[in-house]
Amino acid sequence: MSKTEYDSMIQRANASSSSSTATHVTLGNTYLHSSSRNTPWILDSGASDHMTGDLSLLNDVVKTYVTIADGTKIRVQGIGTYRSSGLVFQSVLYLPQFPFNLLSIHKLSHTHQCSILFSPSHCEFQDLQTKRMIGGGYEKNGLYYLQEQQQQQSSSHSALHSTVTPYQWHCRLGHPSSANLRHVS
């Protein structure tokens, strides 16, 4: 997001937040809506940093300066840590006028050493070394949102109770013989 786009978004957010507790912003072809509390985290491939306007989400906050796209240093009200979904997001910028919670895809993949696989309905964060899924998100109205731990537990809980037929295992495991398939159970 360029400085001009950011300034425009903040200006529109400030204008709408003075009359309501909800914020509606249109940025290019993207329409964003934010309420003052419980705003989900948007996974943003264009963001260079994690950002939030909600100080209550952060721990260990310190004030500092950051350099923006045009090279100018601006004071940030704070940088803190956000903990959720079994993951820790460090160096989250606190910008009081910012109406959204953004997670930088670039920072996420580098900090957690994971690959991020996007599909039409969801995304998954996979640890590069262990190949285990360490988190994920869901798609809604063209944006991907961080899936919180409670949501992950309920979806994985239902997967544990699914019934898989022997034929499905036969197909999933590369068509082993019936004798070999019996050794798996």
Walk along the chain (185 residues) in steps of 10 and give the mean pLDDT of each run. Answer: 61 44 44 55 90 91 79 83 89 86 94 95 94 93 85 46 64 74 64
The pLDDT of residue 164? 63
The SS3 of residue 168 is helix
Are 97 and 109 in contact, with CB atoms under 8 Å apart? Answer: no
* Within-domain flag for 49: yes
Measured CA to CA, the distance from residue 71 to residue 185 in angstroms comes to 61
In sequence order, what DSSP letters do the residues of 8-64 get, joined into one string? Answer: HHHHHHHHHHTT-SEEEEEETTEEEEEESSSPPEEEETT-SS-EES-GGG-EEEEEE
* Within-domain flag for 139: yes
* Within-domain flag for 53: yes
- Domain that includes residue 150, residue range: 40-178
The pLDDT of residue 18? 41
The pLDDT of residue 21? 41
Domain containing residue 142: CATH number: 2.40.70
Q: How many domains does the chain have?
A: 1
* Within-domain flag for 144: yes
Helix (H) or strand (E) holding 74: strand 73-84
The pLDDT of residue 64? 84
* Within-domain flag for 84: yes
* Within-domain flag for 141: yes
* Within-domain flag for 172: yes
Q: How far apart are the first and last CA of the chain?
A: 52
The pLDDT of residue 139? 94
The pLDDT of residue 34? 45
* Within-domain flag for 9: no
